């Protein structure tokens, strides 16, 4: 099993390019199931989760080709089944994103229940209830979601009592081919949801309200082939900016979208970083001492839960005491025990972490990655810790960060990937 060895201590300086957004690529890949013909995609990140979604689509008969620049072409003309198998779904919860498109296109879908997950129980009840509202019969049997809409899906009003990103995306993909109008109330406003909407509209779907809490979808009979470029990954960008806020230095991230990450940029400024932005690039300079920052996670446009772990790392070496509240997932503090092993002064009570910072707090230790963003927080800690930090189980990080050691080493980090 691969491990990362990180020698901490140096500043990071230089320019990098943001990768395409994982959380936009996954639903957009799933949306290819709705099409008659081919979907061409560029800026798809080279990640384990993307490979898994491609395997899910391939197992249904989709033909996928890829050129040297990672431009994908997905041809769904010869789909031959509507089943997302457990062996694939168990490795990635987001596989549930094929439920809506399969139901819309074929009137039936069988998708393995995703099961448990390192960051909480993460149920799929909202996905199932909304498919029922659209007229599907849904049962869970033998570990599978089995859904049928013999007479096709019908538009409906769907109110989410909890904001759900993939839940909103599943309903969007089901409703675009349903008969009549669908209204989604309390929809997720994440930029990745808006990116999916833009791609679906390019295929000929009729959706209004992107970026707001209420989405209106008017069903159409079919969607057409198109080419689409995935938006930049705001969480990847924010992770590297946080790394430089912690190590000190100067970084420019090109091909990024600062307008999609204002809550994080505000917090990095509060921590002492100097940040300037252009429409598609961000520069961060850090030459002052790091100040602690309180955060509370919430749906977009507020502070993302996918940056909570990285900000706990930041706070371990910042001046002052910080309070970090996790309001989205109930068990998303697995990184805390590992950061304590590296010297962090962190106490946990329910959904709140209290971190007392100290610029010399972190030292190397063997640690274990437990989920995707938790792993990122350990890499950031390793970059500033004294000595060589060994991070085990880094397959988690490869699910969501493209060539992380290559990108950070180009800025001056000393990270080595070793096997065994
Ligand atoms: C997506 C993102 C993930 C991010 C999360 C929150 C993708 C592929 N993943 O995950 O990176 O951390 O949004 O921003 O886009 N819930 C229910 N019932 C459901 C669905 C969700 O109770 O049927 C709850 C969840 O347990 C959680 C909350 O709703 O407490 C939000 O989860 P949700 O937005 O659905 O997360 P994902 O879409 O799985």
* Tens-place pLDDT, residues 207-218: 999 999 999 999
Residues with Cβ < 8 Å from 40, sequence gap 6 or more?
A: 71, 72, 73, 225, 226, 227, 228
Pocket test for ligand 1, best of 47, 167, 373 (most atoms within 8 A of CB): 167
Residue 115: predicted pLDDT? 62
Residue 240 or 91, more confident: 240
Q: Is the distance from the beta carbon of residue 170 to the nearest atom of ligand 1 less than 6 Å?
A: no
Which residues are known catalytic residues? 117
Q: Is the distance from the beta carbon of residue 75 to the nearest atom of ligand 1 less than 6 Å?
A: no
Q: Is the distance from the beta carbon of residue 125 to the nearest atom of ligand 1 less than 6 Å?
A: yes
C-alpha pair distances (Å), 370 with each of 37, 49, 129, 339, 381: 39, 16, 30, 12, 15
Q: Does 88 score more than 90 pLDDT?
A: no
Residue 171 or 150, more confident: 171
Measured in angstroms, how far is the CA atom of residue 166 from the centroid of ligand 1? 6
Sheet holding 226-229: strands in order across? 63-66, 72-75, 38-42, 226-229
Instruction: Tell me what the mean pLDDT of segment 131-140 comes to.
Output: 96
pTM of the full structure: 0.96
Measured in angstroms, how far is the CA atom of residue 364 from the centroid of ligand 1? 33
Residue 67 or 388, more confident: 388
Instruction: Tell me what the mean pLDDT of segment 219-248 comes to.
Output: 98
Q: Which residues pair with 348 in a beta bridge?
A: 353
Q: Does 339 score more than 60 pLDDT?
A: yes
Q: Is the distance from the beta carbon of residue 229 to the nearest atom of ligand 1 less than 6 Å?
A: no
Q: Which residues pair with 309 in a beta bridge?
A: none
3-state secondary structure of 322: strand
Q: Does 119 score more than 60 pLDDT?
A: no
Task: Please identify which residue in the block is written with the tokens 């989709």.
Answer: 62
DSSP strand E in 171-232: where? 181-185, 206-208, 214-218, 226-229
Contact 246, 317 (CB under 8 A): yes
Q: Does 191 score more than 70 pLDDT?
A: yes
Measured in angstroms, how far is the CA atom of residue 94 from the centroid of ligand 1? 9
SS3 content of the chain, % helix, strand, coil (to 5): 35, 30, 40
Residue 213: predicted pLDDT? 98
Residue 51: predicted pLDDT? 93
Q: Is the distance from the beta carbon of residue 328 to the nearest atom of ligand 1 less than 6 Å?
A: yes
7-11, 78-82, 310-314: range with lowest mean pLDDT: 78-82
Report the nearest-CA residue for atom 5 of ligand 1: 165
Distance (Å, rounded) from C-alpha 239 to C-alpha 401? 10
């Amino acid at each position: 099993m691969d491990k990362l060895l990180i020698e901490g201590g140096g500043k990071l300086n230089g320019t990098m390019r943001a990768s395409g957004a994982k959380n936009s690529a996954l639903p957009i890949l799933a949306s290819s199931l709705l099409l008659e013909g081919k979907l061409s995609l560029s800026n798809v990140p080279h990640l384990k989760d993307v490979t898994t979604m491609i395997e899910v689509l391939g197992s249904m008969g989709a033909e996928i080709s890829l050129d040297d620049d990672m431009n994908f072409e997905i041809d769904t003309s010869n789909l031959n089944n509507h089943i997302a198998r457990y062996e694939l779904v168990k490795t990635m919860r987001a596989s549930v994103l094929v439920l809506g498109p399969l139901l819309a296109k074929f009137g039936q879908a069988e998708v393995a229940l995703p099961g448990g997950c390192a960051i909480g129980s993460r149920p799929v009840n909202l996905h199932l209830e909304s498919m029922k509202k659209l007229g599907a019969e849904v049962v869970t049997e033998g570990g599978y979601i089995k859904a049928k809409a013999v007479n096709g899906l019908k538009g409906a009003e769907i109110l989410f009592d909890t904001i759900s990103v993939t839940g909103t995306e599943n309903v969007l993909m089901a409703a675009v081919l349903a008969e009549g109008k669908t209204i989604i109330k309390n929809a997720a406003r994440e930029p990745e949801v808006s990116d999916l909407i833009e791609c679906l509209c390019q295929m000929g779907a009729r959706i209004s309200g992107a970026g707001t809490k209420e989405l209106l979808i008017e069903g159409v009979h079919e969607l057409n082939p198109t080419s689409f470029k995935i938006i930049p990954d705001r969480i990847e960008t924010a992770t590297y900016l946080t790394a430089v806020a912690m190590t000190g230095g100067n970084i420019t991230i090109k091909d990024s979208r600062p307008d999609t990450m204002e809550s994080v940029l505000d917090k990095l400024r509060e921590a002492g970083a100097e940040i300037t932005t252009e429409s598609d690039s961000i520069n961060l300079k850090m030459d002052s001492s790091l100040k602690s920052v309180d955060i509370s996670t919430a749906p977009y446009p507020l502070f993302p839960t996918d940056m909570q772990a990285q900000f706990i790392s930041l706070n371990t070496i910042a001046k002052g005491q910080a309070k970090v509240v996790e309001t989205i997932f109930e068990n998303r503090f697995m990184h805390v025990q590992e950061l304590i092993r590296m010297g962090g002064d962190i106490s946990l009570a329910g959904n709140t972490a209290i971190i007392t910072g100290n610029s010399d707090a972190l030292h190397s230790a063997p640690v274990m990655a437990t989920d995707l963003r938790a792993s990122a927080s350990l890499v950031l800690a390793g970059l500033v810790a004294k000595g060589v930090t060994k991070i085990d189980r880094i397959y988690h990080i490869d699910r969501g960060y493209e060539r992380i050691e290559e990108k950070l080493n180009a800025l001056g980090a000393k990270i080595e990937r070793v096997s065994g």
